[in-house]
Structure 1
């Protein structure tokens, strides 16, 4: 991986570890770098070790393990408070958001906890982990939007045009397998093994998903119409090919989903390709798939991420109670 030139060696070693050993994506590695850089800049500013240097120009190259040994749990909590109260006054040079929401603070906690756990348990540079009791902030998750069964059928029936077999197959895999857009674009023909398909998820983690009859039929109908790809390493084995004969890109998939959403009479500003993943998960859960199995299907690292779909079901049950025609019935009081 590319080392960050502003980063001290101890931080570069950690970033290499989470990418090569833990399998974190380059995006996660960069986010952790930015979070930890902000943390060290804050510590140096808090301790008065920099004079009249703009926050985004505070150097951290000199941070070493001796310095890190002086950091306490209180420093970590002060940093999180700073991101809430003070940091929104500034715009980050890396174009991150002005106001840091709870989800962003939770990621910063994750970066800090992972870094200090690595120093303690893996690199053995610390005798004890000073922030092992650092808690995650409460993150309020909004319920994801999804299509109903009827709307899903309308979406599938809206498909037409010169690439209708390909587009129908794409929508069918989204709605049945709950794939991420990047996962669908990364599919190769060789990933299909009879009634299963190999999916490469976040952090290069593989999972095998079973294909139902609808998916198998859609794939079999599409393959005879699949365009011959340009003959290069990245395109040759791709399952879904663009009209330019390359591996289909995320932007193309997102655009075609929006097109059919609108064609089906639905709101394209409300629904997207990622919402089809939510739709698949919701329909599976509402029809009896247990939460652990759903976690495996979706490729979630944590069961907590999958638990959002239990709240969807709770909300639907509340709505069902309210929509009952007897919901507002009140018994007449008997006359005394």
Structure 2
């Protein structure tokens, strides 16, 4: 892999796809690691990539899939730019990496978290009100941890019930703020320290992701929930799952979560299987009268018996 080709590829990812800094760093590491095994990637042959696949054979499926994806995209870029006529990446392994199922909290556990947070915020102390506000925005708006802690004060609306979020890849989206979350935000703004830039300031900067994790797990312990089961992402999962249970459209959920690809959002559909079964049982024509035979259209019984 030549430096200029790699840099051009990474520049394309940043400019055309809006890849975030962490994503670009991961691609760079993957390409450099492959180059250490087989040399110049731009001139590598299919046999070279077969050897590379063998060298990567001990990797976890998810890691192998990511590295192979980086190379496939790199060779696709070279072909698009006219820098290479053939694509040797078909010689790479094709691991099947299953996306892990999200950890979930049920409605009762979410309620316990909120009861505890609301009781502690009743004294109007900054720590208590901040914790309630963080919880409202994580579960009520589905924010990522980084999006939440790095919210600028300017993102809080004066009138419209929306937050302006800058997500992965610098993509902006509007996220609704519920009436409950709006009330918590107003309480927090009344007691927070006078820091002009960040909504959740801490020691001259904003609250860190690590501290957010700690605060949530401490709250979980006080609510009688196993702390290891709680994280900002678990609350984001709960937000998505419970919205689906309530009948939210998958495309709407994709927008709210800031997913670039609907396939990422679809992971939440499997966790709502109980509602889907109930939907079929209650809405399907065969279930209208609770008797499958009676629900069949005229003539269907005879046709069925004939088979």
TM-score computed with the length of structure 2 as normaliser: 0.79
Give the number of equivalent residue pairs. Answer: 270
- The alpha carbon displacement at 1:109 in A equals 2.2
Q: Which has the higher helix share?
A: 2
1:50 aligned partner: none
Between the aligned partners of 1:215 and 1:136, the Cα distance in structure 2 is 45
RMSD: 2.5
| C-alpha contact 2:244 2:250 (8 A) present in aligned 1 | yes
Relative to 1, partners in 2 of residues 1:262 and 1:68: Cα closer, same or farther, differing over 3 Å? Answer: same
Cα distance between partner residues in 2 of 1:7 and 1:133: 21
The 5 Å alignment of 1:121-160 reads: 121=80, 123-131=81-89, 136-159=94-117, 160=120
Pick closer, same or farther for the CA change 1:197–1:313 going to 2, 3 Å. Answer: same
Whether the 8 Å CA contact 1:177–1:280 is kept in 2: the answer is yes
SS in 2 for 1:208: strand
SS of residue in 2 equivalent to 1:269: helix
Residue 293 to residue 133, structure 1, CA distance change in 2 (3 Å): farther
Task: Kindly provide the CA deviation profile for residues 236-259 of structure 1, in whole angstroms up to 9, marking residues without a partner as x.
Answer: 3211123x3531111111111111
Q: Equivalent residue of 2:163, what SS?
A: strand
Distance 1:277 1:142 in 2: 15
Distance 2:45 2:252 in 1: 41
Contact 1:227 1:245 in 2 (8 A): no
Residues in 2 aligned to 1:140 and 1:13: alpha-carbon distance in whole angstroms: 31
1:224 matched to which residue of 2? Answer: 190
Check the 8 A contact 1:32/1:111 in 2, yes or no.
yes
Alpha-carbon separation, structure 1, partners of 2:205 and 2:33: 40
Q: Which runs of 5+ in 1 are unaligned?
A: 1-5, 45-62, 89-99, 230-235, 319-336
Structure 1 residues 22 and 222: alpha-carbon distance in aligned structure 2, compared to 1, 3 A threshold: same
- After superposition, the Cα gap between the structure-2 partners of 1:114 and 1:173, relative to the gap in structure 1 and judged at 3 Å, is same
**Could you state the TM-score of these two structures normalised by the residue count of structure 1?**
0.73
After superposition, the Cα gap between the structure-2 partners of 1:109 and 1:210, relative to the gap in structure 1 and judged at 3 Å, is same
Q: Report what 1:168 is aligned to.
A: 132
Q: Report 1:206-285 matches (<5 A).
A: 206-229=172-195, 236-242=196-202, 244=203, 246-285=205-244
CA distance in 2, matches of 1:214, 1:77: 56
**Residue 177 (structure 1) shift:** 1.2
Question: Shift of residue 151 of structure 1?
Answer: 1.1
1:212 Cα offset (Å): 1.7
Q: Is the 8 A contact 1:117 1:132 kept in 2?
A: no
Question: What is the aligned counterpart of 1:203 among 169, 172, 195?
Answer: 169
* Counterpart-to-counterpart distance in 1, 2:51 and 2:243: 43
Q: 2:156 aligns with which of 176, 180, 192?
A: 192
Q: Is 2:261 the counterpart of 1:295?
A: no
**Deviation at 1:308?**
1.2
- Say if 1:70 and 1:254 are closer, same or farther in 2 by CA, change over 3 A: closer
Moved over 4 A (4+): 132-136, 315-318
Residues 192-236 of structure 1, C-alpha deviations (whole Å, 9 max, x = no match): 23211111111111111111211211112211112112xxxxxx3
The structural deviation recorded for 1:296 is 1.4
